[in-house]
Amino acid sequence: MISRAFAPAKINLTLHVTGQRSDGYHLLDSLVVFADIGDRLTFEPANENMLGVHGPFAAGVPTDGRNSVMQAAVMAGASHAVTLEKNLPHGAGIGGGSSDAAAVLRHFNVSDNAKKLGADVPVCLLAKAQRMQGIGDVLTPLPDFPPYAAVLVNPGVHIPTPQVFKALVQKSNPPMPTNLPVLNSAGDLIAWLALMRNDLQPPALSISPIINDVLTALSHHSPLVRMSGSGATCFALFKSRAQAGQVARTLAQAHPNWWVQPTTLS
């Protein structure tokens, strides 16, 4: 029997780097949400685990044990022919590979040792709004977080995460407030997020200045624009999905080489 799973894009609305442990791991405080766009996986029972990849970003994706999907399938303990429809750009700061692995584990009801597949895999298991702290292992679900319209833009550059962290000069920065406010409207969220940060945005900009072009283009349409994760994908928030859709069409026409997607975050 064929079964399916969805691996949504992960968006860091905030990303405060609050320290670095002696073993090199960075401490974070991040408000993480998930989009209604992402990769898709299909599973069909087989004699052994196999992976096929297609989709707009299939090029260069390994199909052997290097792929976190295959690693997750082994962890799940079932043999399947897995097909991955790769709709999210690589190395884009939106958790593509981590979300793919988490989708496999979620599909087969496996959650133990998810962090072995990557620091972002545990937060991707729930695939709903959460506060992520520590090294990605302290997770607080935010069940009352309402959906918000957004536009995601990636200029087509890949920035290795370790390179961005290496360029981060100040490793100990203030966390978010201990108690997060109740954010009932897009206006409330935008106003509060403007007070927060992504501490990886400045070092990412120093490595890849085109990110600033994306932020500038988005800022003409929204009061809140920011980079997600370690980049290079950026987002802008809007008060309606219709407004987000119109802005996405405008940006896609002006920048045909950019990946531009309207979405709803929750």
The pTM (predicted TM-score) of the whole model is: 0.97
Q: What angle do CA 88, 94, 97 make, to 5 degrees?
A: 65
- Please report the pLDDT score of residue 223 as a whole number: 95
- Please report the pLDDT score of residue 113 as a whole number: 87
Average pLDDT (12-35) is 97
Torsion angles phi and psi, residue 238, rounded to 5: -135, 165
Task: Express as a percent the part of the chain with pLDDT over 90.
Answer: 95
Regarding predicted confidence, which is higher, 158 or 9? 9
Q: What angle do CA 126, 166, 172 make, to 5 degrees?
A: 70
| 39, two tokens | 């990769």
Q: Which residue from 79, 78, 77, 86 is spatially nearest to 52, judged by alpha carbons? A: 86
- The residues annotated with a catalytic role in the active site are 10, 120
Residue 194 β-bridge partners: none
Within 89-240, residue ranges assigned H as helices are 96-107, 121-126, 161-167, 186-193, 201-207, 210-219
- Please report the pLDDT score of residue 184 as a whole number: 86
- Please report the pLDDT score of residue 103 as a whole number: 98
Q: Which residue from 108, 117, 132, 115 is spatially nearest to 10, judged by alpha carbons? A: 132
Please give the mean pLDDT across all residues of the chain: 96
Does position 154 have pLDDT exceeding 80, yes or no? yes
| CA pair distance 127, 164, nearest whole angstrom | 25
Does position 78 have pLDDT exceeding 90, yes or no? no
Query: Tens of pLDDT along 233-255?
Result: 999 999 999 999 999 999 999 99
Query: Tens of pLDDT along 165-189?
Result: 999 999 999 999 999 999 888 899 9
